[in-house]
Structure 1
Amino acid sequence: MELLDDDTVAMFAEGRGDIDRLRRVLAELPEVFDFSLSGDDTGFFSYTRYAADDLTRLLMEDRRESSYLMDMPIEHTDDGGLRVTYIGTEAAFADALSEQPDDIRIEIERTGSYTPGPRHVVSQLTERQREVLKTAVDLGYYQEPRKTTHDEIAMATELSETTVGEHLRKIEAAVFSSLHVGAAKR
């Protein structure tokens, strides 16, 4: 995304879903000046140039004046929010968080060192989730027939059985939601 001098935003995005519906929506929106889509429902790229609203302008201008970076992609969450990865120092984040408008709610999911890597679902898991996943795989949890239990994974990771179960459900939800599976044909 980039705020242009003519007060429009140019955005390049990757997505999946109903590309024909997206094409219709973009064509009908008066604030969209130009767009291009390529791909299909299983995965597509889009370029869109649209009028900047006040919030977008504020966030984009703030990004220009700050000492932190936004890592792409910016993800849309199921609850209508955005998930953004910011890269920078603690001081830069303190400044950024103190300057946000009152009508923007920010939730920090995690902090730590940044290691760029492939956009693989495993890179989106927390460190603890990756540890539980590695242990589960090593102990044969995903083999057929299953070679281990939540209790054995809990003992190996020094977590409770309930916590292991919660981590495995979150891991599985992340993996399955990341798959580019087309709609079932009837």
Structure 2
Amino acid sequence: MRYAKCVIIPDDEGLHPLDRRIADHPDVTRELLYNVNLLADETIVALYRFSGKRTVLESILSESPMVNQYQLSSADGEHHAYIHLEAHDRLVGLLSMLRQFEFIYDTPLEFTRRGGLRVTMIGDVKSFQAAVPDVPDGIRLKLLKTGRYEPNTDRLFSQLTARQQEILRTAVDMGYYDVPRAVTHDDIGEELGCTGGTVGGHLRKIESTILTQIVP
């Protein structure tokens, strides 16, 4: 089983009008795209994770004529959004191409700082080459690497919030998980400018997220 890791890079119009509008707003950040599916009527359902102001996000979703319906779930400044979108030629074309060439994409998909979407596509190597000419106008695929597909820790790490990733990196770098343990929650908090209690709370959530997915 092979994979191709690439970045989907849309032009200034974006992959979809709603996605472009959210990307352009300074008070909302697209974090992850957990899933996106093309339905039989060519409408689209997607599950996002956003950060930022919920009121702003709700305003964008409720006012957009491209949104059929949506549901939001929020906690700790992170918002999970199920969105049913109207059809749009560019995104429909991209999803149709993935289906035509029988690709499976590993989730979640990550947004890059420059507005692209980093995706790992799993399938036949020859299909990757054949699919390139069928990429819709206004979208460019930047190939990062190919190889044999094996699930790894990147997927788990990407599911953490940006703040959780920062705290976990700092804890590991400072020796919190060394044996014997080299630092305390307070030491990490001093490095990050927060309390030891805040660090402990984040680490417990991080450990819950990761460990519940690796224990059979």
Q: TM-score, normalised by structure 2?
A: 0.53
The percentage of counterpart residues that share the same residue type is 32
C-alpha separation in 1, matches of 2:70 and 2:114 = 25
Cα 1:60–1:13 change in 2 (3 A) is same
Question: Structure 1 segments of 4 or more deviating over 4 A?
Answer: 141-144
C-alpha separation in 2, matches of 1:86 and 1:109 = 11
Cα 1:102–1:49 change in 2 (3 A) is closer
Based on CA coordinates, which of the two structures has the bigger radius of gyration? 1
Which of 104, 108, 115 is equivalent to 1:69? Answer: 104
Cα 1:7–1:80 change in 2 (3 A) is same
Aligned partner letter, 1:63: L
Residue of structure 1 in register with 2:130 after alignment:
95
C-alpha separation in 2, matches of 1:89 and 1:26 = 37
C-alpha separation in 2, matches of 1:117 and 1:54 = 34
- C-alpha contact 1:71 1:86 (8 A) present in aligned 2: yes
- The structure with the largest strand share of the pair is 2
Asked if 1:120 is matched to 2:156, the reply is yes
Cα deviation 1:133-161 (Å, max 9, x = unaligned): 9xxx8xxx7459xxxxxxxxxxxxxxxxx
C-alpha separation in 2, matches of 1:49 and 1:22 = 15
Residue of structure 1 in register with 2:5 after alignment:
none
C-alpha separation in 1, matches of 2:43 and 2:49 = 20
- C-alpha contact 1:69 1:88 (8 A) present in aligned 2: yes
Cα 1:17–1:109 change in 2 (3 A) is farther
Aligned partner letter, 1:121: F
- C-alpha contact 1:35 1:47 (8 A) present in aligned 2: yes
- C-alpha contact 1:18 1:41 (8 A) present in aligned 2: no
Q: TM-score, normalised by structure 1?
A: 0.60
Q: Secondary structure at the match of 1:111?
A: strand
| Unaligned runs of at least 5 residues, structure 1 | 124-132, 145-178, 180-186
Count how many residue pairs are aligned between Structure 1 and Structure 2: 130
Cα 1:105–1:120 change in 2 (3 A) is same
| Unaligned runs of at least 5 residues, structure 2 | 1-35, 160-168, 177-201, 203-216
Residue of structure 2 in register with 1:12 after alignment:
47
| Root mean square deviation, CA, Å | 2.7
